[in-house]
Amino acid sequence: MLRSIRTHRYARLPGSTRPAQYCWSVNARTSTGRGSGQGSGRNATDAAAPGGPPGATSPAPPLEDPTPLTARERFDELSSPLRDRLEEPISRVTTMTRRTMELFPVRVWRYFLAQNGFILSSGMSYQALFGIFAAIYVVFAVFGIWLTANDETLDAFVGLLNTYAPGLIGPQGIITDEDIDAIASSSSSALGITGGVALLGLAWTAIGWVTYTRIGVRSTFGLPKDERSYLLLKARDLLAGLSFGIVLIVAAALSVATTGFMQWLMSLIGLDPSSSWTAFFVQVGAVIVVFVIDTVALAVLFRFLSGAAMPWRRMVVGSLLGSAALSVMQLLGGFLITFASSNPLLATFAVFIALLFWFRMTSIVILVAASWIAVEASDANESLRELTPEQLEAERRAIEAQAAVTVARVRLREAEADAASANWLGGFRARRAVARAQLDLDEAQAAAERVRRPKRTLDV
């Protein structure tokens, strides 16, 4: 009753406003049955707004201002329509990107990048630039008399060398025909003591490219450092280099025989041996010979030199694709060399720059082919490591010992944390726990040192 009187008196004060709690009570009172005609006129007067017409209700008090939005909330509110509009296109692009990344060639290229392929190819090309000159000198010093005795064989051999190193030998090349004749004529002096020592030094330089290529391929395969004897590895590299040189000489002889056979076959058909068709078929035969040589060389490199444990069928696709890429590069060798030496600032060293660029591209192709083989083997869950059962057992023990060291370190760290947070009463026990954990760690490290593999030999 007193509350209604206070509300009534407050409502009649001129120029006053009704508090929110009283306004609610009056509005609620007028909305009941008494306010709809059952109450007195005094109640209706209570519900009237000050200074307003009879029967009018008092306006609701103004609401308090909402909490202002932060910059992040305003940005989200404004960008929400744009996000809704771009959600579907972004989803399509994401799906397309994921499918593209799952493609096998893309995975091969990403694996090549992950294995530092460009850095490895740079080292290989640098060694190849210096090794090619030593290799040519060794080949012509050893086989120069036989090669220069037959002009057709010599021309075919020089043509093959220019296929693998465009612009190397020729009137405009680094090595001229007169230089070849001089090396071949001095081959008899190479059999002396001084000549033999010089020949060995050049052979050592020549196999440097083979060595770095072997290391690059092993790194691409993810193989550990080769633990075989240093002399054995160098002997294998020398054997591989000599084998490649012999294959080139045999290929030159086959090229001469193929050219003669094609000319004889064209004459039987009735075509002029000097016609364009004869030249076309001779060129096709030369490309096939180079393709076979590249395929065999890559297969030997991947299987024999690298020491990888893989079946021959595993390297077929990678070797064929690498050989095909090298063949295309050799067909486009003139264009690539012209492109590499187009900078006028490098005109003085154009041939060297072009050769370095050529060897860089060749090294990239070799390592990409090796990456193809590595990804194929990984998909087939095949290991490229060649290990004996004893080596596998030693590795298993080493892994277990290293795991024990890790566990001991974790226990020591936990014991030290407990000791740091212990009170004076439990401090003695915590320090004893730290001492025991440290002793266990020392024993685990000693055990891991005992089962560690023997010291590795130098791999260069």
Q: Could you tell me if 228 and 457 are in contact, meaning their C-beta atoms sit under 8 angstroms apart? A: yes
**pLDDT at 47 > cutoff 50:** no
The average pLDDT across 183-189 equals 63
Q: What is the model's pLDDT at position 290?
A: 78
Reading the block at residue 10, the tokens are 């407050």
* 6 vs 427, higher pLDDT: 427
The average pLDDT across 243-270 equals 74
Q: How confident is the model at residue 164 (pLDDT cuts 50, 70, 90)?
A: confident
The average pLDDT across 37-65 equals 49
Q: What is the model's pLDDT at position 108?
A: 93
The average pLDDT across 269-277 equals 71
Q: What is the model's pLDDT at position 59?
A: 56
Reading the block at residue 422, the tokens are 């212990």
Could you identify the residue written with the tokens 């959600």? 87
Residue ranges of alpha helices (H) inside 422-453 are 427-451
* 60 vs 402, higher pLDDT: 402
207 Cβ neighbours under 8 A, 6+ residues apart = 131, 234, 237, 238, 240, 241
CA distance 185 to 197: 18
Average the pLDDT over each of 16-30, 115-129, 271-285 and give the range with the smallest value: 16-30
The average pLDDT across 221-230 equals 81
Bridge partners, 169 (sequence order): 175
Q: What percent of the chain has pLDDT over 70?
A: 71
The average pLDDT across 245-267 equals 73
The average pLDDT across 163-179 equals 73
**pLDDT at 448 > cutoff 80:** yes
The average pLDDT across 267-278 equals 72
The average pLDDT across 239-244 equals 78
Q: What sign for the dihedral angle of Cα 10, 12, 14, 19?
A: positive
Cβ neighbours around 371 below 10 Å, total: 24
Q: What is the model's pLDDT at position 28?
A: 42
Q: Could you tell me if 282 and 265 are in contact, meaning their C-beta atoms sit under 8 angstroms apart? A: no
* 302 vs 349, higher pLDDT: 302
Rounded to the nearest integer, the mean pLDDT of the chain is 74
**pLDDT at 186 > cutoff 70:** no
The average pLDDT across 387-401 equals 78
**pLDDT at 445 > cutoff 60:** yes
**pLDDT at 102 > cutoff 60:** yes
3-class SS at 275? coil
Q: How confident is the model at residue 149 (pLDDT cuts 50, 70, 90)?
A: low
**pLDDT at 116 > cutoff 50:** yes
**pLDDT at 111 > cutoff 90:** yes
Q: How confident is the model at residue 114 (pLDDT cuts 50, 70, 90)?
A: very high
**What one-letter code names the amino acid at 258?**
T
43-47, 362-366, 425-429: range with highest mean pLDDT: 362-366
**pLDDT at 72 > cutoff 70:** yes
* 4 vs 187, higher pLDDT: 187
The average pLDDT across 93-114 equals 91
Q: What is the model's pLDDT at position 16?
A: 46
* 364 vs 223, higher pLDDT: 364
**pLDDT at 180 > cutoff 70:** yes
CA distance 422 to 149: 93
Average the pLDDT over each of 43-57, 270-284, 318-332 and give the range with the smallest value: 43-57
Q: What percent of the chain has pLDDT over 90?
A: 10
- In tens, the pLDDT along 297-337 reads 888 888 887 878 777 788 888 889 998 998 888 777 666 66
